[in-house]
Structure 1
Amino acid sequence: MPHLRELGDFLRTQRGALDPETFDLPSHGGRRRVTGLRREEVADMVAISTDYYTRIEQGRLVPSGPVLESLIGVLRLDEDQADYVLSLVDHAAQVQMAPHVTASRARGEKLRVRPQLQTLLDQFTESPAMVLGPRMEVLAWNALAELVYAPFSQLPKNELNYVRLIFTDPRMRELFADWASVARSCVAILRREAAANPADPELAALVGELTIADRDFGRWWAARNVARQDFGTKTMRHPEAGELVLHWEMFRYASAPEQQLVVNVVENGSETQKRLLRLRELAVS
């Protein structure tokens, strides 16, 4: 089951990232052949057999609730990582209960934006806003988002993906003052969203494409960092408007929870607000 395979891979990655010295573990009389903790060491701290833990990492077994909670503690997972692990187990259980539900039908629903939501975007006349899909597809946007980020309406449909633009469009690298931080966050968010469908062929194709296109993406994806970021602040160096400091908020759309409404807001009376207003005026003049 793909969710269990991803769970095992994730646990193995986290196990390998831990420093044995912080656990005061014995050296066993020689150099360690593996980085991080050994399987038997994790199993011992969780109070399960090595075989039981091995089957978890191999994606062959769903850990019980108490074992999962112990693993979260032993592997020192943060809140986002723990939530990711629990989501994988929940999704695996749902697939077992309803294996007849096809992923292709669900994916089609995820990408359909209701006209009323587009109307809402257009009413944000002072805030760049967009709707992202489960693989960070740019599904809808307002006029100011297109002026600030990229000419979405001029791009081919297969290029309308936020994380793809971040890693492959040179303009995006110049746009963000701290591009690396933005890019790492995109990878972490994409990894977190992938929990719902780790076997998604379109996600696999996107990851494969970006792994080849950008070495940093491949390295950050392999690290299996996950994040559920709902707000933040970013500084942009817009070629026409100048420096923009945007606070962003992300909302889940109740009618389509796989879609994310991202709204950028600015401080009233700030220089950024004035620059956005001038940018909008230039576009319509």
Structure 2
Amino acid sequence: MSELGEYLRACRARVSAEQAGLPSSGHRRVPGLRREELATLAGVSVDYIIRLEQGRAKSASPEILTALARALDLGTDEQEYLLRCAADSTGLTNKADSHAPRTQRVSPATRVLLDSMPGVPALVLGRRMDILAWNTLGAALITDFGQVPVQHRNHIWLSFLDPKVRALYTDWEKVARECVSYLRMDAGRYPEDPALARLVGELSVKDADFGQWWSAHRVRAQRSGRKDFLHPLAGEITLDFQVMDVRGNGDQTLLVYTAEPHSRSAQALAFLAGWAIAEENSGVDIVVDTPPQ
């Protein structure tokens, strides 16, 4: 079955007949809408739904895909993912473009930008949520990325398989589910990226939660949000995050964390920044005062 077919089936399973405004017909063997019901709502034939789900449809017009998205009550990110899956499934995507280039490089100007923000943790993320660059406070908040093997320098790999990083998040499950939806969104852009396939395979084998959440086909683009940390040095920190595209490189984003001004979290972040700079300058372990409570 194609990625488009799997995604349509997963979306159908999440929508009940009642939610779609259809009468319930009693006991159902499987959850969600039947193919016949989706076909009725979208104004297409049942056979066409079957061919889409089985990967046998040779084309899918934007109008039909929009009708399917409306019937399935898909959000903006989900509609974008549906269109990408359809383009790839029906051969409209240039296969050369769907393979991610091997090398990911951060420009000198972007590195200067990172270093010019000493008061906020910042990371540059690439395809697959690879961590390509970071500033001193970003490493102090999450982990010393320079000591992490390059093949594991990936935001989602660390969040699932590195015990210290995993323990940083007060609500790990919420963060992890979001990471999976971000990665699934990226998979729609580069469906034939072998490095992404290896990452998904490793995480599926080593963490049952990842496998279950990946199969659910939830998708979401990284934009903004809030995370609660329990840092071993700075204690509890609540930070807002924003994700911004790096101009000139559509594969890279700048992830920046900020604290509410004058808050306890802002004080904790300032403490952590001071500790990080002192340790970086000394090159040895140092003793620091207790962070603000």
Q: What TM-score does the superposition give when structure 1 sets the normalisation length? A: 0.89
Spell out, residue by residue over 1:63-108, the C-alpha distance to the aligned partner (whole angstroms, 9 max, x if none).
2222111111111212221222123345667x64744x3655x423
Extract unaligned runs of 5+ from structure 2: 280-293
Spell out, residue by residue over 1:199-256, the C-alpha distance to the aligned partner (whole angstroms, 9 max, x if none).
2221111111111111111111111111113111111111001111211110011211
Give the match's secondary structure for 1:107.
Answer: coil
Q: What is the aligned partner in structure 1 of residue 43 from structure 2?
A: 47
Give the match's secondary structure for 1:108.
Answer: coil
| 1:11 aligned to which of 3, 8, 20 | 8
Please tell me whether the aligned partners of residues 13 and 33 of structure 2 are also in contact (alpha carbons under 8 angstroms).
yes
Q: What is the aligned partner in structure 2 of residue 120 from structure 1?
A: 113
Does 1:108 pair with 2:102?
A: yes
Give the match's secondary structure for 1:135.
Answer: helix
Q: What amino acid is the match of 2:81?
A: Y
Please tell me whether the aligned partners of residues 176 and 237 of structure 1 are also in contact (alpha carbons under 8 angstroms).
yes
Give the match's secondary structure for 2:2.
Answer: helix
Q: CA-atom RMSD, angstroms?
A: 2.1
Give the match's secondary structure for 2:211.
Answer: helix
Percent pairwise identity: 39
Q: What is the aligned partner in structure 2 of residue 260 from structure 1?
A: 253
CA distance in 2, matches of 1:189, 1:102: 20
Give the match's secondary structure for 1:43.
Answer: helix
Give the match's secondary structure for 1:250.
Answer: strand
| 1:79 aligned to which of 76, 80, 91 | 76
Spell out, residue by residue over 1:23-66, the C-alpha distance to the aligned partner (whole angstroms, 9 max, x if none).
43463xx7433332221221122222221111111222232222
Q: What is the aligned partner in structure 2 of residue 69 from structure 1?
A: 66
CA distance in 1, matches of 2:259, 2:93: 46
Give the paired residue count.
276
Give the match's secondary structure for 2:129.
Answer: coil
Give the match's secondary structure for 1:48.
Answer: coil
Measured after TM superposition, the shift of residue 272 of structure 1 is: 2.2
| 2:165 aligned to which of 149, 168, 172 | 172
Kindly report which structure 2 residues correspond to 1:135-214, keeping only aligned pairs within 5 A, or say none: 135-214=128-207
Spell out, residue by residue over 1:155-194, the C-alpha distance to the aligned partner (whole angstroms, 9 max, x if none).
1101100000000111122211111111111001111111
CA distance in 2, matches of 1:159, 1:181: 21
Q: What is the aligned partner in structure 1 of residue 22 from structure 2?
A: 24
CA distance in 2, matches of 1:82, 1:141: 32
Q: What is the aligned partner in structure 1 of residue 30 from structure 2?
A: 34
CA distance in 1, matches of 2:204, 2:269: 34
CA distance in 2, matches of 1:224, 1:76: 15
Extract unaligned runs of 5+ from structure 1: none
Does 1:56 pair with 2:52?
A: yes
CA distance in 2, matches of 1:102, 1:78: 25
Q: What is the aligned partner in structure 1 of residue 265 from structure 2?
A: 272
Measured after TM superposition, the shift of residue 21 of structure 1 is: 4.0
CA distance in 2, matches of 1:46, 1:103: 29
Measured after TM superposition, the shift of residue 120 of structure 1 is: 0.7
CA distance in 2, matches of 1:196, 1:272: 36
Structure with the greater relative contact order (CA < 8 A, sep ≥ 6): 1 or 2?
1
CA distance in 1, matches of 2:248, 2:240: 25
1:227–1:186: structure 2 CA closer, same or farther, 3 Å change rule? same
Please tell me whether the aligned partners of residues 223 and 242 of structure 2 are also in contact (alpha carbons under 8 angstroms).
yes
CA distance in 1, matches of 2:52, 2:89: 13
Q: What TM-score does the superposition give when structure 2 sets the normalisation length? A: 0.87
